[in-house]
Amino acid sequence: MGNFLDSYGFLIVSTFWGALLGLSVYLPLMAGQLSLASPGFYALGGYIAAILSTQVLPHSGETYPFGFVLLEMGVAGLVSAVLAVILGIPVLRLRGIYLAIATIAFVEILRVLALNLEITGGAIGIFSIPQPFRSPVGYLWIALPLLVLTMVLLYRLEQSHTGRVFRAIREDELAADTMGIDPTYYKVLSFTLGAILAGMVGAVSAHFFNTWNAKQGTFDNSIIYLAFVLSGGSRTFVGPVVGGMVLTALPEVLRTIANIGGIPLWLGGFLQAMRLIIFGLLIVLGSMFYPQGIVTPELLNRLKLAFRKQPKRIST
Amino acid sequence: MSPDVPILEVQNITRRFSGLVAVNNVSFAVRTGEIFGLIGPNGAGKTTLFNVITGLTPPSSGQLRYGQTSLNQLRPHQIARLGVARTFQNLRLFGNLSVLENVAIARHLHIHTGLVQSIVGTRAAKTEERQTALKALEILELVGLASKAEQTARNLAYGDQRRLELARALALQPQLLLLDEPAAGMNPNEKGALSQLIHQIRDRFDLTVILIEHHVPLVMGLCDRIAVLDFGQLIALGKPEAVRHDPAVIAAYLGGE
């Protein structure tokens, strides 16, 4: 077990970040808002943590204090929230594809700023971000509780009146408006919740990756996170979690399969060299044959029923 | 309030869409507690007028007063908050949500627990959620949809979808209810039942109702007063019998001269 965690610790923790970033795209999507801004807030959070831990917060000794990481995550979440509200109020007046374009622009602006500012280390970025844990597996102490907590909160949110209002706006914003619902308020709320999550994940990721630069928040990432949600399923929070984990692990899994002995050389070579193509192909095929994503509310209901029936059958 | 006090005053309302004048200098007052019919041929501007009253389309000129409040600058949700609810001619249900959820969403203005309270699951939040469900069921009972509460809204039969639109508007507990062709697509039996239901609702909830309807017998039997629009202009206003014999109305409907 120890050996397994040592080899795959980095990958396992990465899948958790994938799940959380998928959820940060899913949150605005709950209210029907296609936002691609997550990488922007993710990068911002990362820079906040990188700057705080290398320049501001004093520490000595081999490991960086765990509490400081949590503090950085809090600061990153807060700054992301404030920025999301400021950005959200004008931007969320746009609908559909225009909102997506505006959020891409936001991500680009942050990227160019990061490339050119001194405090972010320019094109080189920030190096030697201190480590709170001895190995990547240690980050499970943050990743696991954060993912579980986020999922519990999202489950509760979906059951709550606010969750219902989000879905109403997603279905028909105009009709929701005539029911006394202020769509702007709820759209900004969902957008901000997603931004807070992305900012917090960014903060801890800066430590996890040890280095942070302008490549962390790019348009490519926007599309990858969106793929997490679209392939996993965009109508329940379980979808982005599954999508984020599977798609994060997939390239690595393909590489591992390619290295297994006994596989024909040509197939191994194909899997190794073409894994990104396979990755893209799966996204295309997935959206053709599972346009709702892999996990849908209907599927979850069926699973729930199946689990409920099982014990009864055993007892009788 | 005495029945002669106007709940809604439409004063010289005009709405242009580039070259087209959809509503042209229309004025009338709706009295508290009456059922007010708005009729006219297709394209007469009835739905546009509804959209102007509910804030979906701002008027090009003119004044709208609801009691003492001007509606001119208000957004739809602010107008809903004042006690104005509407249904849509081309059904705008939340199709992927259940019938019960559709009505529960319309209870928005009566739900006071916030996001944090409902996520934490405080006692107040749970109580309110239960009350919301009960109230929603009560309203569904009234329109005869209680047995279909768990169904997905878009799977309902057409007539049931119309009734759900009505239930959703009622869930706001409005003082003024705007119904845009509530009987469209219903058979004569359903139309009769609906007519009774509207009467019943008005009496039970002390409502004022403005109704757009094509089906003339229904309007004549149901409404206290009727306004007739033709090409955006108000051509007649008065009691059903008077309007029915108005030469301008007959000309508009049958194509006079």
Model confidence pLDDT, tens digit, residues A7-22? 788 999 999 999 999 9
B76: chain A residues, CB-CB within 8 Å: 174, 177-178
Token duo for residue A199: 């900012």
- Residue in A with minimal Cα distance to B178: A178
Q: Is A179 on the interface with B (CB under 8 A)?
A: yes
Out of 1.10.287, 2.40.50, 1.10.3470, 1.25.40, which CATH number does the structure's domain A2-315 have? 1.10.3470
Instruction: Report yes or no for ipTM above 0.85.
Output: yes
- Residue in A with minimal Cα distance to B92: A175
Cβ–Cβ gap A178/B94 under 8 Å: no
Per-residue pLDDT of chain B (257 residues), as tens digits, is 445 679 999 999 999 998 899 999 999 999 999 999 999 888 899 999 999 999 999 999 999 999 999 999 999 999 999 999 999 999 999 999 999 999 999 999 999 988 888 888 889 999 999 999 999 999 999 999 999 999 999 999 998 999 999 999 999 999 999 999 998 888 888 888 999 999 999 999 999 999 998 878 888 889 999 999 999 999 999 999 998 888 888 888 776 55
Tokens 């931007």, located at residue: A91
- Residue in A with minimal Cα distance to B55: A178
Per-residue pLDDT, B249: 86
B119: chain A residues, CB-CB within 8 Å: 153, 156-157, 160
What residue ranges define each of the domains in chain B, with the CATH number in brackets? 1-83+174-257 (3.40.50.300), 97-172 (no CATH)
What Rg do the C-alpha atoms of chain B give, in angstroms?
A: 19
- Residue in A with minimal Cα distance to B168: A179
Give the separation between CA A68 and CA A285, rounded to whole angstroms: 43
CA distance A99 to chain B (A): 21
Average model confidence (pLDDT) for chain A? 89
Nearest-CB residue to B111 (from A159, A161, A171): A161
Helix or strand or coil: residue B85? Answer: strand
Could you tell me if B166 and B182 are in contact, meaning their C-beta atoms sit under 8 angstroms apart? yes
Sign, Cα dihedral of B130, B131, B132, B138: positive
Token duo for residue A92: 């969320």
Helix or strand or coil: residue B126? Answer: helix
Cβ–Cβ gap B97/A168 under 8 Å: yes
CA angle B101, B105, B107 (to 5 degrees): 120
Per-residue pLDDT, A313: 47
- Residue in A with minimal Cα distance to B167: A179
Q: Is A157 on the interface with B (CB under 8 A)?
A: yes
A180: chain B residues, CB-CB within 8 Å: 77, 80-81, 106, 108-109, 172
CA distance B154 to chain A (A): 11
Q: DSSP strand E in chain A: where?
A: none
Model confidence pLDDT, tens digit, residues A147-204? 999 999 999 999 999 999 999 999 999 999 999 999 999 999 999 999 999 999 999 9
Q: How many CA atoms lie within 13 A of B153 on its CB side?
A: 25
Could you tell me if B222 and B35 are in contact, meaning their C-beta atoms sit under 8 angstroms apart? yes
Token duo for residue B5: 């006090």
- The 10 Å Cβ neighbour count of residue B136 is 24
Cβ–Cβ gap B113/A161 under 8 Å: yes
CA distance B186 to chain A (A): 22
